[in-house]
A and B are shown apart, each in its own frame.
Chain A
Amino acid sequence: MMGRETQAAAGHSAGFDEMHHAGACRAPYEIIRDWLEGLPPDFLLRKHAEAELLFRRIGVTFTVYSEGGDLERTIPFDIIPRVLDADEWAFLERGLRQRVRALNAFLVDIYNGREILRAGRIPQAPILLNASFRPEMQNFTPVHGAYTHVAGIDIVRLGPREFYVLEDNCRVPSGVSYMLENREAMTRLFPGLLGHHRVAPISHYPEELLDTLRSVAPPHCPGDPTVALLTPGIFNSAYYEHSFLADEMGIELVEGADLFIDDNIVFVRTTEGPRRVDVLYRRVDDDFLDPLTFRSDSTLGVPGLFGAYRAGNVTLANAVGTSIADDKSIYPYVPEMVRFYLGEEPLLANVPTFDCGRAEDFSYVLSHLEDLVVKEARGSGGYGMLVGPQASAAERETFAARLRARPGDYIAQPTLALSTCPTYVESGIAPRHVDLRPFVLVGKKIHIVPGGLTRVALREGSLVVNSSQGGGTKDTWVLETRC
């Protein structure tokens, strides 16, 4: 449901435990320790059951693409929060701002002057020959140079001060509704717990999102900009999130057929007649946005929408063409973007990545398949991926044959031992691997609501946090105090 696959790697190493480290409870988790110690025996079991009921009743669901049956499921919610202290978050926030500024600068550049290519800092081929590169966007700069108005940057932690970016989601990242509902659930389930600690609030996210969207309205937009959320419809896996966000922001949730273009202006059909739309927070992929420009068989989009966009009469968020910035074959160059555009050293490190299109990387990958995770550069959803340490010799052999056939289509990364957090499972409380997706809002300014969505691999030893593979989510606390 979160879109792209996020498995860092699979491994056997225990990983950094965010609560217990070097024989002691780490300071940010002392409040969790004290809380857990004071609980009556079956309290958590009861609360766990209550949480499940709560999510079903609110109707927080995601769609599972399968045949027949009930398509709507809920994602398991773990009742023990993950905690970051003020310093940890301050560091992450600086790193995220830096990275997202660089990604947006890159997008402006790549569709205009291509300075970074001319300076030879990034090779041309992976970009200009990339299917994610949108020639239609050349010589066009969105309002305030904002391309990726909502970025979901997936972060994994390997040690007390070691944070790595696993991938950048610049197109249409989802999951923020879970972040918000998780906090809501914690507030209802444990009213005392949150009340006693200074945890940074997050419930204003929809307001910040709306501010961001309004800030990028076309400059000559008459009066108060009208913002709408464009959804592919009820069969989309993230439909719940779309309706949730539209509701929270108080804007219309529209489908392609609700919109039409007249003289390069976007209108929504209402019972009071056509109404002009200035900003579309679109949760429809580029390919499906406009059958006249992109896929002609798309029924999800609006004919002429791209023309209205290029004419500057509507802002699309996220912008068209952002996927060139989160393509896996481009990912290795993001640190270079930070240096080139901002003249700074990157605060957040990349996971070392081997580009199989390069001869020396390719031979290394082939001879170390049992230690590596190999992914399709343009794949998503976890398809076409090899998890070396968990694969059989035969599986690795088959995969190697595919690699040899099209090396340029693959990248490889070392197996990472993701950090763990205490998690409520059948056997009690046990460490489970987690990642973090903070949501970075980019408009006239950059805004990040503290924390993000923590995903947790509920199966023991598993590093797969995907909801489709037994992954769950946790509330993420950013303490307003230093520890």
Chain B
Amino acid sequence: MLSRTAESLFWLTRYIERAENVARILTVGHRTATIAHSLGNLGNEWESTLRAAGCEDGFFERFEAATSATVIAYMVFDADNPSSIYSCLEAARRNGRAVRTALTVDMWEALNQTWQQLRTLDQTSTLEHSLIDFLDWVKERSLFFNGAYTNTMLRNDAFFFTRLGTFLERADNTARLLDVKYHILLPRDEEVGGALDYYQWQAILRSVSALRSYHWIYHDRLKPWLIAELLLLRPEMPRSLRASLEQIARHLDLLADAYGGRRGECHRLAGEMYARLRFGRIEDIFPAGLHEFLGAFLTQTAQLSNEINVFYLK
């Protein structure tokens, strides 16, 4: 297939996934800020929200302080912020339209309808009165689109590239989220400290729809290292780094098979990253520093994206 077509499919799902993650991060930020406020702690939840979404640099170029109003406006509708929900959904639709014949009818309709609804939304009123409903809607639309492509696309190279976009973005987002929150919550003890910390950790799990999964898997109180293990290493957890890398490595392999065995650095790197997560142990990662581990992981994820780009998309 055309490199451009593959590239558009890859970015199409990356942007959809990013929109969903920004919505999740904002939901958590909103919840945490409310709780922090009620518990009398006025630490800046909104800065960490920006960091989790990877948009603090762009934000501080334009704004002095991270307040709930500025951060939310910047991350929801700001067309000048390339990672705002608005920009992500616009970019997703633009990529989809460019390769419309490569999409199934269901994919196109899901994408187009999302964009049409977003475009005609009253932004001011949404920010003021129905932010949480809106964030839920974004999550729903992403789940809807992912369902549409998963259930209607042919299992060929186009599908594999589409899949790569979803999981590469997801790995990046989960790592970011964990890193940022972990940083604020530098745990001193085995168990989560005060009430605020407890809610913060709970919020992280909620943001990746994993609060119930945690209890289901561990039957235990919230413990930072177990939460980290869940989000890093557990294969059952669909947003964990391991689960994401497993999908990435698998779909790169499928591509290599489809193209007569041709492989490159992206295949090696994905295999290495996956192996580290598959055979890694949380008790080894923690002492060496979770932050360092996640930092290295984010660098490698960016490198992997670049290698995929060089090998297939250019």
Interface residues of A (CB under 8 A from B): 233-234, 243, 246-247, 252-255, 257-258, 268-273
A-B contact pairs, 8 of them (CB 8 A): A246-B101, A257-B4, A258-B4, A269-B4, A269-B314, A271-B157, A271-B259, A272-B259
Asked if B3 is at the interface of the complex by the 8 Å CB criterion, the answer is yes
A-B contact count (CB 8 A): 39
Give the number of chain B interface residues (Cβ < 8 Å).
18
Give the chain B neighbours of A246 by CB distance below 8 A: 101
Give the chain A neighbours of B262 by CB distance below 8 A: 272-273
CB proximity of B13 to chain A, nearest CB, Å: 16
Known: A269-B4, A269-B314. 18 other contacts (CB 8 A): A233-B98, A234-B98, A234-B100, A243-B100, A246-B101, A252-B2, A253-B101, A254-B4, A255-B4, A258-B4, A268-B2, A269-B3, A270-B2, A271-B3, A271-B157, A271-B161, A271-B255, A272-B260
The answer to whether B100 and A271 touch across the interface, beta carbons within 8 angstroms, is no
Asked if B312 is at the interface of the complex by the 8 Å CB criterion, the answer is yes
Give the chain B neighbours of A272 by CB distance below 8 A: 259-260, 262
Dominant secondary structure at the B interface: helix
Q: Which residues of B148-169 are within 8 A (CB) of A?
A: 157, 161
What is the bound-complex CA distance between A269 and B161, given in angstroms?
16
What is the bound-complex CA distance between A243 and B157, given in angstroms?
20
What is the bound-complex CA distance between A258 and B255, given in angstroms?
20
What is the bound-complex CA distance between A273 and B2, given in angstroms?
9
Asked if B313 is at the interface of the complex by the 8 Å CB criterion, the answer is yes
What is the bound-complex CA distance between A246 and B2, given in angstroms?
13
Residue of B nearest to A255 (CB): B4
The answer to whether A234 and B3 touch across the interface, beta carbons within 8 angstroms, is no
What is the bound-complex CA distance between A270 and B262, given in angstroms?
13
Closest 6 pairs (CB-CB, A-B):
A269-B3, A271-B312, A271-B6, A272-B259, A258-B4, A243-B101
CB proximity of B99 to chain A, nearest CB, Å: 9
Give the chain A neighbours of B296 by CB distance below 8 A: none
The answer to whether B313 and A271 touch across the interface, beta carbons within 8 angstroms, is yes
Give the chain B neighbours of A271 by CB distance below 8 A: 1-3, 6, 157, 161, 255, 259, 312-313
CB proximity of B79 to chain A, nearest CB, Å: 14
Give the chain B neighbours of A233 by CB distance below 8 A: 98
What is the bound-complex CA distance between A268 and B1, given in angstroms?
10
Asked if B31 is at the interface of the complex by the 8 Å CB criterion, the answer is no
Residue of B nearest to A273 (CB): B262
What is the bound-complex CA distance between A257 and B312, given in angstroms?
15
Give the chain B neighbours of A243 by CB distance below 8 A: 100-101
Give the chain A neighbours of B255 by CB distance below 8 A: 271
Q: Which residues of B63-122 are within 8 A (CB) of A?
A: 97-98, 100-101
Interface string of B2-31 (1 = CB under 8 A from A): 111010000000000000000000000000
Residue of B nearest to A253 (CB): B101
Give the chain A neighbours of B312 by CB distance below 8 A: 271
CB proximity of A181 to chain B, nearest CB, Å: 15
Give the chain A neighbours of B2 by CB distance below 8 A: 252, 254, 258, 268-271
Give the chain B neighbours of A234 by CB distance below 8 A: 97-98, 100
What is the bound-complex CA distance between A255 and B5, given in angstroms?
11
What is the bound-complex CA distance between A257 and B4, given in angstroms?
8
